[in-house]
Structure 1
Amino acid sequence: MDAQSDFPVYQDDSKPMEERIEDALHRMTLEEKVAMCHAQSKFSSAGVPRLGIPDNWATDGPHGIRAEGLWDKWDQAEWTNDSCIAFPALTCLAATWNPEMSLLYGKSIGEEARYRNKNILLGPGVNIYRTPLNGRNFEYMGEDPLLASRMVVPYVRGVQENGVAACVKHFALNNQEINRHSVNVNVSDRALYEIYLPAFKAAVQEGQAWAVMGAYNLYKGQHCCHNQYLLNDILRREWGFDGVVISDWGGTYDTKQAAYNGLDMEFGTGTNGLTTGVVNAYDDYFLSKPFLRMLQAGEIDEKIVDDKVRNILRMVFRTNMNKHRPWGLFGTAEHALTGRQIAQEGIVLLQNKRSLLPIDLNGVGKILVVGENALKMMTVGGGSSSLKAKYEISPLDGLRKRVGNQVEVVYTPGYISRSSGNNNEVTAEAIELAKDADLVIFIGGLNKDDFQDCEDSDRKNLGLPYGQDQVIEELSKVNKNIVVVIISGNAVAMPWIDKVPAVVQGWYLGTEAGNALASILVGDVNPSGKLPMTYGVNLNDYGSHALGEYPGGKEETYHEGIFVGYRWFEKQKIRPLFPFGHGLSYTTFSYGKASASSKVITGSDELNVSLPVRNTGSREGKEVVQLYVRDVKSSVERPYKELKAFRKIHLKAGEEKHVDFTVTVDDLKYFDEEKHDWIAEPGRFEILIGSSSADIRSVVGFELKQQ
């Protein structure tokens, strides 16, 4: 069909998508094609107005829709109707261990993006938790590739139900913020495929993600936003990705590399045009006029830009040219309650000696709340994930709202995070007030300031900042009833752990933070969150630090290889502060003996595993049953065990359910670097089922035989 046709194929959504793409591409000029490949503002790229192809609009971030900004600046545009619902950060979502919560999360945040007419959501993030110092760990889904894979897929699907492209980030190996633009990551192929790629692969192949964002760092000497190995060889050829590759903002460095090495859309490249009077600084982008000139001169074949535009058009037809996509919802009470539910399922009860929690409101007259994080707005700060939230309930306000009619709640800061102020004075005041309180709740942790869970900076150490450890120690000397609530997206050291009876991991919980936390503390909701990462006692407990290379300089070698998180702790026989998968409840669960459908399987078989789990306590609750696989004897070094499945179940008091799993040969494989393939060696294996990686309740052995 030629350009003069009365009814263009590309506008007919009854036609096959690839036919529509080719028709639209045929009608475009070279200049129009190039214009689609780079930004025209901070967060948009051009469509083709004369053909009725709309602009693309992207938005941060993974846990809330960013406020509208000015066209050429990072400043907010000061709209009055762009205040979003802040959802919990993704570490909290991962801590739910509940794919149903992930689907609900994706659907809800997708509705918010759609209502604001954004067709690209810059998230979710699935970079692996390699070091607890990484400033962006709070935006990701933990240390285990299987957990991250199972949680990212429903998130992506939920977002894209709304005709909004989920842009999975940061592909790949973006595991630190220090030197993030310049560090070249050296990692074995086995570690790459077994640890760092599975969640991205799941998002692409199972979630059918429509967009992927490159990372800032380098791999094999090439920046990840235009990287032959990651984008062309793995993402496109091995995984069959047919969506758009988007650069991280400022992650593009060279026109030819961007042209040939898999990048489709360039955003955020630094230019000086806006300060030196150039009419349009976006013309200076690598995929703008420099790209056009090379195409016009024949230095780059036009099929290169055609392939990029095909990918962009495919996303456009799936999103803002999809006439059937829903209208979306924004800032609703329903979304706020969704956020609260996710927060409640993600909060982790780490320790509860003497059953201090839930709070006995009949036995407590005065509660002293200590700590700046009881009041600090955690929806603000942290870099690109900072939000303009419609509202945020602080932990102090949430607690007062819940118990204020029954219990006196007194607040004091206890420490000061800014240089102004006297820490000794406020600490002394907190200690004095603690002496006659029935219960002390210390609410501290990190706070999304620079070096405290924030983009573009890593933490400097594992300990709590601003002298909080000393405050907790002093409080424990004058009051034995103390609950420590850690607000963070990272593990922290806890040198006072034996001196406090109760510890709660609170994460960054979003709009309904205070209400969610209060509901857990008083027992309206039974905690069911489990840690998505291992908590070490000190930094040298982690392989990335024990082997001495982090943060590297221009080069960072992952000497620990596949031994990340609990894999490393178990290899080195290090007792963690709290193990991966750990989380307590206000009830108790007993596990029966697991049984398997067979003692021997071959390559095409499935192994069905079942066990009874009973709620042996006095109240209903949820338990995460975790299945790990161990290769008893292997020709290559393997982790002691690896997570391969999990189920979150709800049980009433006294109720018992059978939990069923299916194990396939794929669950037994490792990545063979020489064959560049996944291999399952015949021999003996074990299935280990438990409540955490360190709390195994039942073991079943079986043998894999050659077919």
Structure 2
Amino acid sequence: MTSQIKARFGLRLLATTALIGAFALTTAAHAQTTNAPPPAPTVRTDVPADRPWMDTSLSAEARAELILKEMTLAEKLQLTFGYFSTDAKWSITPIKNYVFPKEGLPYSAGFVPGIERLGIPNQWQTDAGVGVATQTVPEAARTADLPRGRTALPSGINTAATWNPEVAEAGGAMIGNEAFLSGFNVQLAGGMNLMREPRNGRNFEYGGEDPLLAGIITGHEIKGIQSNHVISTLKHYAFNDQETNRNQMDHQIEDKAARESDLLGFQIAYETGNPGSVMCSYNRVNGHYACENDWLLNQVLKTDWGFKGYVMSDWGATHSTTQAANAGLDQQSGWAFDRSPYFHGALREAVNNGYVSQERANDMAKRILWAMFEVGLFDTPVKGDQATTIDFEKNGKVSQTDSEEGMVLLKNTPGLLPLSKTAKSILIVGAHADVGVLSGGGSSQVYPKGGSPVADEYGKGFPGPKTWYPSSPMKGIQARTTAAVTYVDGKDVKAAAAAAKKADVVIVFGEQWTGEGFDVPDLNLPNNQDALISAVAKANKKTVVVLETGGPVVMPWLSKVGAVIEAWYPGSNGGEAIARVLTGEVNPSGHLPATFPASLDQLPRPVLEGDPKLDSDSHPMSNYNIEGAAVGYKWFDKKGYKPLFPFGHGLSYTTFALSDLTAAAEGKGVKASFSVKNTGGVAGKEVAQIYVSGTGWEAPKRLGAFQKVEVAPGESQSVSVTVDPRLLATYDSASKTWNIAAGDYKVMLATSADDIVQTVTVHLDAQTLDVRGK
């Protein structure tokens, strides 16, 4: 969500006076005889006679229908209009015509009033995918007296790098619980956009470049959040894959390519997580804004996939009333960012005049109510701010586990990592590693309790402030070694190199801050850090580089350093996580969820499309048909490019042997079985990857399945996985079917997209599957 920070406070917000009304009830069972006729509807004695929709034995669909019959048109439409909910006192300058929503929670993303007389709860909305974010201005956030400090997960791309759905779901459950205890029942999480553009400033929020991996990981995050009776979104739907001109850019892509790439990722995430809401994005797709795009919303999402929940706009992504409503938008969110309150009086007028049908108005309200019943907003209502009950220590460990499992060991010279216990001196250089770890910027920003240990280095407002979590890698290393550990900031390259000569081991921390609202100009580390790393590595061959970045970066110094770890943005306990991995307390097991290019020349669009100086009424176009469905490693395979590091790559402090691959047709897909053996000396986790190859595809191969396997030294584990039939098929737009051609298919066992260990061939008969892959 969000555009420029000033937009948050320069527009009028309407006041609301709705109050909470909800009831928590238990489910009663009813008896049923085997040969008896179908029983009459159960009569719940604990259900208020005037509120039959509070019967929890009924489906969410039935409950929504019951309450809808009692609602006036004004009440139905009230659910479709959301307010921004940040207190004006945090404004940079005094604000006129600003009315804070009466029941809203301050410093939060939004508020939608409920209906007191019917017991429909208010919707309190919070950003975002890595925790309970706080919407405020940098001047306030720089102080230690923050409105709200919460636990931050590592970045979304870190969670994708775990390749572990259980870790993703546990993280989602943790931040969903903190949202609930903070008084929120809607969380704007579930970032799923594929990495078509590695310079995208929001890649850190998302799940990488592959639809299967990103869809499964995102879906499990959503499941975790919603297990706390908090609605999660799935966003940003769709093709919001860059920040430059995000409000104007028109991404062109054919239906077939879309269904086999980004939309397949969203479809898998939806099937896995069952989100209550989908958030449509800022950009245009094939000529129409995503939030008034009939193809995306009505045809693909609601008809083809059968989505029962509601579509909410991103903050500032609504552009019309009748067109948006008829094209499938159900809720205008954070209207202060839009040019007009399109779904307020204008929508009621459009319904009264027949431009939007009564049936459509009912459908909009019903979808919102369905999600509220399905996730449990009626039956387990939030009880206001209960932050004093949050177990920050426990939640920090959840975040730490995510960080440790997602950290990727990219390179390691034997004997360098884990850090030798014989080292007498360790020098740490750069990135404020003496006091904390970096986080990504924008609306997803989760502020730490007590404030950032580093003053804002951005200083330009949104998406700042540039924030660090007070978890020191240096202190974590000091606690785990007897070596003398010292720190230099690296601003003086010569001084850093001189200090490096005197140390047994050097650890250089490289950082790349990315955030919402801008894309990075290239993939180099900014602020002369590449030169710093080169100079330090020249002075000391035992140089380890730890990267805190939002996504892929190039490494002109790679051959000079001894080891490289990609730590992403590692979250609230990131310093501890980094220290544990460097010292071997934790064996790294992350694998890349995205290809690291060797240069920008290898990308489908070496020059980023869209002039950032264009005005808001411009209409630049971006051609996603260049690569079509061949995103990421598929593009590299298709073109024969050798990346810096391939998709799926990740090393360990132990070694593994993958063998005994067998595969056969099973059901509508393929079942593959294999063995994973730990051939090294310490316990570790391997990510075994199955790729499949057919004819007439967008690229030579696709990721078909994966499994993260933990194995003790000398032990073996047998693994079986199933390949989704859609990953063996091509999509036909005319018939809306997935079609598996008769013939031979290669099934490949691998440790990365570039490291195929074993290949077998499977013959498949021709099959036609429906639009949902059934």
Q: TM-score, normalised by structure 2?
A: 0.82
1:291 and 2:347 correspond: yes
What is the alpha-carbon distance in structure 1 between the residues aligned to residue 641 and residue 135 of structure 2? 47
Task: Provide the residue aligned with 1:478 in structure 2.
Answer: 539
- The SS at the match of 1:592 is strand
Aligned AA for 1:615? N
- Distance change in 2, residues 1:320/1:414 (3 Å): same
| Comparing 264-273 and 286-295, the one that deviates more | 264-273
- The SS at the match of 2:120 is coil
Unaligned runs of 5+ in 1: 274-283, 416-425, 448-452
Encode CA deviations 1:610-652: one digit per residue, 9 max, x unaligned.
Answer: 2222111111100000000011xx2x34311110101111111
On the 8 A contact 2:150/2:448 being kept in 1, the answer is yes
On the 8 A contact 1:9/1:15 being kept in 2, the answer is no
Task: Provide the residue aligned with 1:403 in structure 2.
Answer: 480
What is the alpha-carbon distance in structure 2 between the residues aligned to residue 188 and residue 375 of structure 1? 49
- Distance change in 2, residues 1:377/1:47 (3 Å): farther
Q: CA offset at residue 124 of structure 1?
A: 1.4
Q: CA offset at residue 27 of structure 1?
A: 2.3
What is the alpha-carbon distance in structure 2 between the residues aligned to residue 439 and residue 125 of structure 1? 38
- Of 660, 668, 672, the residue aligned with 1:609 is 672
On the 8 A contact 1:63/1:109 being kept in 2, the answer is yes
What is the alpha-carbon distance in structure 2 between the residues aligned to residue 694 and residue 37 of structure 1? 48
1:626 and 2:685 correspond: no
Unaligned runs of 5+ in 2: 1-47, 86-109, 451-468, 612-618, 768-774
Encode CA deviations 1:460-514: one digit per residue, 9 max, x unaligned.
Answer: 0111100011111111111111001110121111011111110000100111000
Task: Provide the residue aligned with 2:12 in structure 1.
Answer: none
Aligned AA for 2:686? E
On the 8 A contact 2:220/2:272 being kept in 1, the answer is no
Correspondence 1:484-499 to 2 at 5 A: 484-499=545-560
- The SS at the match of 2:680 is coil
Correspondence 1:263-302 to 2 at 5 A: 263-270=329-336, 284-302=340-358
What is the alpha-carbon distance in structure 1 between the residues aligned to residue 144 and residue 497 of structure 2? 43
- Distance change in 2, residues 1:689/1:519 (3 Å): same
- Of 161, 165, 187, the residue aligned with 2:227 is 161
What is the alpha-carbon distance in structure 2 between the residues aligned to residue 408 and residue 156 of structure 1? 44
What is the alpha-carbon distance in structure 1 between the residues aligned to residue 58 and residue 704 of structure 2? 41
Q: CA offset at residue 103 of structure 1?
A: 1.4
What is the alpha-carbon distance in structure 1 between the residues aligned to residue 240 and residue 338 of structure 2? 27
- Distance change in 2, residues 1:618/1:322 (3 Å): same
1:89 and 2:155 correspond: yes
- Of 532, 554, 560, the residue aligned with 2:620 is 554
Aligned AA for 2:444? S
What is the alpha-carbon distance in structure 2 between the residues aligned to residue 271 and residue 698 of structure 1? 53
1:311 and 2:367 correspond: yes
What is the alpha-carbon distance in structure 2 between the residues aligned to residue 54 and residue 706 of structure 1? 50
Aligned AA for 1:32? E
What is the alpha-carbon distance in structure 2 between the residues aligned to residue 379 and residue 399 of structure 1? 16
Task: Provide the residue aligned with 2:168 in structure 1.
Answer: 102
On the 8 A contact 1:589/1:616 being kept in 2, the answer is yes
Aligned AA for 1:554? P
- Distance change in 2, residues 1:244/1:319 (3 Å): same
Encode CA deviations 1:536-555: one digit per residue, 9 max, x unaligned.
Answer: 1101112232xx67347611
1:583 and 2:650 correspond: yes
- Of 391, 394, 417, the residue aligned with 1:334 is 394
1:412 and 2:488 correspond: yes
| Comparing 622-631 and 205-214, the one that deviates more | 205-214
On the 8 A contact 2:549/2:567 being kept in 1, the answer is yes
- Of 344, 367, 374, the residue aligned with 2:426 is 367
On the 8 A contact 1:258/1:286 being kept in 2, the answer is no
Aligned AA for 1:119? N
Task: Provide the residue aligned with 1:219 in structure 2.
Answer: 285
- Of 553, 556, 566, the residue aligned with 1:505 is 566
| Comparing 569-578 and 171-180, the one that deviates more | 569-578
What is the alpha-carbon distance in structure 1 between the residues aligned to residue 255 and residue 639 of structure 2? 22
On the 8 A contact 1:185/1:220 being kept in 2, the answer is yes
- The SS at the match of 1:182 is coil
Task: Provide the residue aligned with 1:639 in structure 2.
Answer: 699
What is the alpha-carbon distance in structure 1 between the residues aligned to residue 69 and residue 142 of structure 2? 38
Encode CA deviations 1:665-695: one digit per residue, 9 max, x unaligned.
Answer: 4431112344432111111111110111111
Q: CA offset at residue 77 of structure 1?
A: 12
Encode CA deviations 1:98-123: one digit per residue, 9 max, x unaligned.
Answer: 11111111111111111112111101
What is the alpha-carbon distance in structure 2 between the residues aligned to residue 619 and residue 384 of structure 1? 41
- The SS at the match of 1:543 is coil
Aligned AA for 2:71? M
Correspondence 1:346-385 to 2 at 5 A: 346-361=406-421, 363-375=422-434, 382-385=441-444
Task: Provide the residue aligned with 2:184 in structure 1.
Answer: 118
Aligned AA for 1:34? L
Task: Provide the residue aligned with 2:603 in structure 1.
Answer: 542
Aligned AA for 1:343? S
What is the alpha-carbon distance in structure 1 between the residues aligned to residue 239 and residue 438 of structure 2? 26
Task: Provide the residue aligned with 2:91 in structure 1.
Answer: none
- The SS at the match of 2:650 is coil
What is the alpha-carbon distance in structure 1 between the residues aligned to residue 144 and residue 559 of structure 2? 48
What is the alpha-carbon distance in structure 2 between the residues aligned to residue 36 and residue 74 of structure 1? 32
What is the alpha-carbon distance in structure 2 between the residues aligned to residue 370 and residue 154 of structure 1? 37
On the 8 A contact 1:46/1:54 being kept in 2, the answer is yes
- Distance change in 2, residues 1:650/1:476 (3 Å): same
Aligned AA for 2:372? V
Task: Provide the residue aligned with 2:459 in structure 1.
Answer: none
- The SS at the match of 2:533 is helix
On the 8 A contact 2:428/2:486 being kept in 1, the answer is yes
On the 8 A contact 2:293/2:328 being kept in 1, the answer is yes
- Of 114, 133, 143, the residue aligned with 1:47 is 114
Count residues with an aligned counterpart. Answer: 665
Q: CA offset at residue 157 of structure 1?
A: 1.4
- Of 321, 324, 336, the residue aligned with 1:258 is 324
Encode CA deviations 1:570-605: one digit per residue, 9 max, x unaligned.
Answer: 111111110000000000011223123x5xx59x46
Task: Provide the residue aligned with 1:521 in structure 2.
Answer: 582
What is the alpha-carbon distance in structure 1 between the residues aligned to residue 435 and residue 326 of structure 2? 46
Aligned AA for 1:37? T
On the 8 A contact 2:185/2:377 being kept in 1, the answer is no
On the 8 A contact 2:434/2:473 being kept in 1, the answer is yes
What is the alpha-carbon distance in structure 2 between the residues aligned to residue 216 and residue 26 of structure 1? 34
Task: Provide the residue aligned with 2:523 in structure 1.
Answer: 462
What is the alpha-carbon distance in structure 2 between the residues aligned to residue 505 and residue 52 of structure 1? 49
Correspondence 1:687-706 to 2 at 5 A: 687-706=747-766
On the 8 A contact 1:373/1:487 being kept in 2, the answer is no
Aligned AA for 1:591? L
On the 8 A contact 2:175/2:225 being kept in 1, the answer is yes
Q: CA offset at residue 395 of structure 1?
A: 4.1
What is the alpha-carbon distance in structure 2 between the residues aligned to residue 266 and residue 502 of structure 1? 49
Task: Provide the residue aligned with 2:67 in structure 1.
Answer: 24
- The SS at the match of 2:718 is strand
Aligned AA for 1:347? M
| Comparing 180-189 and 22-31, the one that deviates more | 22-31
| Comparing 333-342 and 6-15, the one that deviates more | 6-15
- Of 477, 482, 495, the residue aligned with 1:429 is 495
- Distance change in 2, residues 1:565/1:288 (3 Å): same
Task: Provide the residue aligned with 1:243 in structure 2.
Answer: 309
What is the alpha-carbon distance in structure 2 between the residues aligned to residue 579 and residue 472 of structure 1? 22
What is the alpha-carbon distance in structure 2 between the residues aligned to residue 267 and residue 97 of structure 1? 33
What is the alpha-carbon distance in structure 2 between the residues aligned to residue 664 and residue 259 of structure 1? 34
What is the alpha-carbon distance in structure 2 between the residues aligned to residue 183 and residue 508 of structure 1? 28
- The SS at the match of 1:355 is coil
| Comparing 671-680 and 192-201, the one that deviates more | 671-680
- Distance change in 2, residues 1:605/1:178 (3 Å): closer
- Distance change in 2, residues 1:664/1:440 (3 Å): closer
Q: CA offset at residue 249 of structure 1?
A: 0.3
